[in-house]
Amino acid sequence: MGLLRLLFWIALIAAAFWLWRRFKQASLARQSAAKPSLEPTPMVRCAHCAVHLPRQQALQLDDKWYCSQAHLEQGPTRNAR
């Protein structure tokens, strides 16, 4: 009877330890997913209207960036450089 009681306590402690580690890893994953990126988003300026926007949303033609397809088709303006 003493051996069964010992095995029961060992199994119970092992299960508690396993659950604790699993919940701790899940909470760490939630915290890392919730953290905003510390890297700044590269911004570019539209060659037509001079509006700044994130580079991943901009359209590029040669070395110029545009905020929309319509501005890309119209091309750069003088005051936007």
Phi–psi pair at 40, nearest 5 degrees: -70, 150
Q: In this predicted model, what pLDDT tens digit does every residue of 23-52 receive, in sequence order?
A: 999 888 877 776 666 788 899 999 999 999
pLDDT of residue 78: 73
Buried b (16+ CB within 10 A) or exposed e, 24-54: eeeeeeeeeeeeeeeeeeeebbbbbeeeebe
Q: What is the pLDDT at residue 32?
A: 72
pLDDT interval class at 72 (50, 70, 90): very high
* Pairing status of strand 59-61 against strand 64-66: antiparallel
CA 54, 57, 62: angle at the middle one, nearest 5?
95
